[in-house]
Amino acid sequence: MGSPYFLSFRLSLYFQCYKYDYIYKKLYALTVFSCIFFKFGKRSFHTIQRVIPHFMAEEIRKAQLETLERKNAEALLGGGQDRIDAQHKKGKLTARERIELLLDEGSFEEIGKFVMHRSKDFGLDKQYYLGDGVVTGYGTINGRLVYIFSQDFTVLGGSLSETHAEKIVKIMELAMKNGAPVIGLNDSGGARIQEGVVSLGGYADIFYRNTLASGVIPQISAIMGPCAGGAVYSPAITDFIMMVEDTSYMFVTGPNVVKTVTHEEVTSEELGGASTHSTKSGVTHFSCANEVECINYIKKLLSYVPQNCEELPPALPYESTGSEIRDVLDTIVPENPNQPYDIREVIEGIIDGDSFFEVHKNFGENIVVGFARLGGRSIGIVGNQPAVLAGVLDINASTKAARFVRFCDSFNVPLLVLEDVPGFLPGTDQEWRGIITNGAKLLYAFCEATVPRITVITRKAYGGAYDVMNSKHIGADMNFAWPTAEIAVMGAQGAAEIIFKREIAAAEDPEAKLAEKVQEYKEKFATPYRAAHRGFIDEVIKPNETRAKLIKAFKMLENKAVTLPRKKHGNIPL
């Protein structure tokens, strides 16, 4: 036991294994056992010295793998099982469960799983969690690459720290470099107050990347829980926002601050819930009944849009089953020009099957926007809604449609406009709130759009609203009109009262004379043919042949190329 070889070996073994104490003890015991039962000489020493390193390496590898497995398990638990249970009791999924539902099975690859915050103030040096409250990575949806971040409310309330923000920024930059959509699943209490200004800097870093990515890759935000203060501005810059009823809310200042400053009593749901933002403010595009529906909406939305601004939207295989004539379109528009109808019936009569995916359904309801397929191709649809305010354009309708048009143009989605508009909504409320500049947003959006643009006038096209709704004069590629179309400065009644004012006043029967002049004006101006004579309408078509005409027209325009004047950027009237 006192052999110099043995002492030398013990010393060598110690220095090789001091980092792995439990492994050293096993090796030491093995060595002592060998020396007791075998005569320890020079030859035995060299034999053991050759065998032991192999055994030691295997034990170290095993220990390393066990450490990795332990850390992976720790990361998967987020803030711990108790907090996961609390999340479930609120009717909410965890960050990882949401990702699992959204992405194709087995496709998620996590990035930054073991990242931890670097702060030591206010007790944070005792609160370290792997991942630091956000799960980031990439995967596929229906086989198409997407990047994703999902905030974990079980870890410090999902609060945003410096490293939390760095993880999100990394994902966004990878998405831009590789030309793929980025999806944010937001569930956060806001900035991590203990970190002070660095957490605010983290928000700004994200906002900056949101802005750089705008118009380059699709950006989708799903609000799965609280989203307050600075946290709201990142979703606001993205292309689409989805909220979950009863469990998610967005506001710059919460109910307590509102009460302190303005003395208003308001709940979180009333102030910034899904219903509020989908109907009153228009902040959110989709109000979802639950998280599963929200995730399904994300999948469906992505099926209509391309990966980036350089690609075309995905097209589905399409084979015509014969005639594209849709007789149902012949009877939708009433004979009485003042009788309403639902523009969605026209949309459904034109598009492929049940492919219409409406956006902003409950906001600015006097205009309808959404995605659909026509002949297998993805298109964006903007349609005046005669069933609400007669389809008139107001502030909400104008801003809603303008935003949708700009998204479609950014990502090469052709535009179909279904027009039945009597004008802009009059009144002091609209004028004082800025209908002029807000209406101009829609005009600007159509004017700058370079994607294929086709308009079908189903009935009314009056005044300045006729110009704004993708008229030939502002760059529409094809303009069709149904025989029921009335293209004029204003309605026949109002026009006749102005033009023939004196003649009507001098008549023995003013009412009969007015009716006569209204009919005269209709025959002369309130038809599609006057505009067709001037080339403002390319063709007057039967309603039932609209689908066939549109399929051919969009096919003809698929290689459209337009070069805009060189400039840094335009100055849309905000």
Which DSSP string do the residues of 490-520 spell out, in sequence order? S-HHHHHHHHTHHHHHHSSSHHHHHHHHHHH
Select from 119, 141, 117, 118 the least CA-distant residue to 130.
117
The CB density around residue 531, as the number of other CB atoms within 10 Å, is: 22
Q: In what order do the strands lie in the sheet with 134-141?
A: 109-111, 134-141, 144-151, 182-186, 219-223, 240-244, 286-288
- d(CA 171, CA 180) in angstroms, rounded, equals 11
The residues, any chain, with a CB within 8 Å of residue 378's CB and separated by 6 or more, are 304, 305, 313, 314, 315, 371, 372, 413, 414
Select from 208, 210, 216 the least CA-distant residue to 186.
210
- d(CA 319, CA 301) in angstroms, rounded, equals 23
pLDDT at residue 1, rounded to an integer: 46
Q: Is 380 a catalytic residue?
A: no
Residue 255: both structure tokens together: 């109910």
Q: What is the DSSP string of 562-574?
A: --PPP-S------
pLDDT at residue 31, rounded to an integer: 58
112, 139, 225, 230: the active-site residue: 230
Instruction: Specify whether the CB–CB gap between 549 and 539 falls below 8 A.
Output: yes
Phi, psi of 456, rounded to the nearest 5 degrees: -120, 115
pLDDT at residue 568, rounded to an integer: 93
Q: Is 387 a catalytic residue?
A: no
78, 133, 190, 229: the active-site residue: 229
- d(CA 390, CA 386) in angstroms, rounded, equals 4
465, 476, 492, 548: the active-site residue: 465
Helix (H), strand (E), coil (C) string for 88-117: HHCCCCCHHHHHHHHCCCCCCEEECCCCCC
- d(CA 305, CA 313) in angstroms, rounded, equals 5
Helix (H) / strand (E) containing 557:
none
Q: Is 464 a catalytic residue?
A: yes
The residues, any chain, with a CB within 8 Å of residue 366's CB and separated by 6 or more, are 384, 385, 388, 389, 390, 391, 392, 393, 394, 396, 397
Paired residues of 248 in beta bridges: none
Select from 359, 366, 327 the least CA-distant residue to 343.
366
Instruction: Specify whether the CB–CB gap between 190 and 158 falls below 8 A.
Output: no
Q: What does DSSP say about strands 486-488 and 367-374: parallel, antiparallel, or unpaired?
A: unpaired
pTM (2 d.p.): 0.88
pLDDT at residue 156, rounded to an integer: 82
DSSP annotation of 479: E
Helix residue ranges per DSSP H, 38-161: 42-76, 81-89, 95-102
Taking the CA of residue 441 as centre, how many other CA atoms within 13 Å lie in the half-sphere pointing to its CB? 20
- d(CA 373, CA 486) in angstroms, rounded, equals 28
Q: Is 131 a catalytic residue?
A: no
Taking the CA of residue 431 as centre, how many other CA atoms within 13 Å lie in the half-sphere pointing to its CB? 3
How many residues belong to the chain?
A: 574
The CB density around residue 417, as the number of other CB atoms within 10 Å, is: 23
Q: Write down the residue that tokens 């399904």 correspond to.
A: 296
Using DSSP's 3-state secondary structure scheme, residue 293 falls into: helix
The residues, any chain, with a CB within 8 Å of residue 410's CB and separated by 6 or more, are 214, 215, 309
**Residues 182-221 as b or e (16 or more Cβ within 10 Å = b):** bbbbbbbbbbbebbeebbbebbebbeebbeebbbebbbbb
464, 494, 515, 532: the active-site residue: 464
pLDDT by residue for the chain (574 residues), tens digit each? 455 554 454 545 444 544 445 555 555 555 555 555 455 555 555 665 566 666 667 777 887 887 778 877 766 877 789 889 999 999 999 999 999 999 999 999 999 888 776 766 666 667 677 888 899 999 999 999 999 999 999 988 888 888 999 999 999 999 999 999 999 999 988 877 677 788 888 899 999 999 999 999 999 999 999 998 888 999 999 999 999 999 999 999 999 999 999 999 999 999 999 999 999 999 999 999 999 999 999 999 999 999 999 999 999 998 877 789 999 999 999 999 899 999 999 999 999 999 999 999 999 999 999 999 999 999 999 999 999 999 999 999 999 999 999 999 999 999 999 999 999 999 999 999 999 999 999 999 999 999 999 999 999 999 999 999 999 999 999 999 999 999 998 888 888 888 888 888 888 888 888 888 888 888 887 889 999 999 999 999 999 999 999 999 999 999 999 988 999 999 999 9
The CB density around residue 124, as the number of other CB atoms within 10 Å, is: 16
pLDDT at residue 18, rounded to an integer: 47
